[in-house]
């Protein structure tokens, strides 16, 4: 038994030392990770931006198809990141479909976008944020024409593969620049203590007002084949966004 005491004591001492070193390293990592407060928010936005479909509707009318309704409302999901007074926002969005139908031919149009914005918070009050911003916007317009009679004039799979129909999907890529200002009113919730960190939750309710500069538009395409004489009217316009989110701030 006495022979076991020394090895057990040495093992205990080694384990204690390793544990102490591990805790020290974790503390150093924590200090390095959280030199500054980490803050941001997950947001849902509804945006109004006028979309001029006059050229596209003229082309549709010339082909015997009815005009499409306006496609001006965007629904976006975005992430909001804050470091000191610097602000970075990135998001994805889409517009609901604008549709028309005549003689069993259905036309649908909508858009998708990804945007990235940089701003600077000029406010001194933690209860709200006020910031100018600039950003870039990448979007895609999609036009789908469904010839229902043409698609349904055969009843077997092999026949449908070789069926003649004017159903098709066309798309156009666009690039824009966004300039504007944002305001967020921050409703603070009860903070939550997590180990050695405090999670301050909040609900930001905000407004974005800006101008979208349609800097470049690609050709309309079908299966990567470029089309000539396509609608190419610029879509520069004022935009207004309302947003609500779930925010966070992590402090040591």
Residue 241 has pLDDT above 60, yes or no: yes
What pLDDT, on a 0 to 100 scale, did the predictor assign at position 35?
Answer: 59
Contact by Cβ (8 Å): 73, 47: yes
Residue 10 has pLDDT above 80, yes or no: no
66: which DSSP letter?
P
Nearest Cα residue to 117 out of 138, 136, 131? 136
Mean pLDDT (whole number) for 159-172: 86
At the top level of CATH, the class of 34-251 is mainly beta
What pLDDT, on a 0 to 100 scale, did the predictor assign at position 32?
Answer: 52
- Taking CA atoms, 243 is separated from 42, 47, 87, 159, in Å, by 10, 9, 16, 50
Q: What average pLDDT does the chain have?
A: 85
What pLDDT, on a 0 to 100 scale, did the predictor assign at position 34?
Answer: 53
């Amino acid at each position: 038994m006495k022979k076991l005491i020394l090895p057990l004591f040495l093992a205990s001492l080694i384990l204690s030392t390793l544990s102490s070193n591990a805790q020290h390293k974790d503390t150093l990592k924590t200090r390095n990770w959280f030199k500054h407060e980490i803050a941001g928010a997950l947001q849902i936005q509804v945006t109004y931006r006028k979309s001029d479909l006059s050229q596209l509707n003229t082309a549709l009318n010339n082909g015997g198809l009815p005009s499409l309704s306006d496609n001006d409302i965007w629904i976006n999901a975005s992430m909001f990141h804050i470091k000191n007074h610097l602000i970075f926002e990135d998001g994805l969005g889409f517009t609901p479909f604008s549709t028309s139908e005549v003689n069993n031919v259905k036309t649908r149009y909508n858009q998708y976008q990804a945007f990235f914005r940089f701003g600077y918070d000029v406010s001194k009050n933690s209860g709200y944020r006020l910031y100018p911003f600039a950003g870039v916007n990448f979007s895609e317009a999609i036009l789908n024409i469904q010839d229902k009679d043409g698609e349904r004039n055969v009843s077997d799979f092999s026949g449908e593969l070789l069926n003649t129909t004017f159903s098709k999907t066309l798309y156009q890529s666009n690039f824009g620049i966004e300039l504007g200002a944002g305001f967020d009113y921050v409703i603070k919730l009860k903070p939550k203590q997590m180990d050695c960190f405090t999670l301050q939750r909040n609900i930001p309710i905000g407004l974005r007002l800006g101008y979208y500069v349609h800097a470049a538009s690609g050709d309309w395409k079908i299966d990567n084949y470029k089309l000539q004489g396509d609608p190419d009217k610029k879509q520069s316009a004022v935009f207004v966004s309302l947003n609500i989110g779930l925010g966070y701030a992590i402090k040591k």
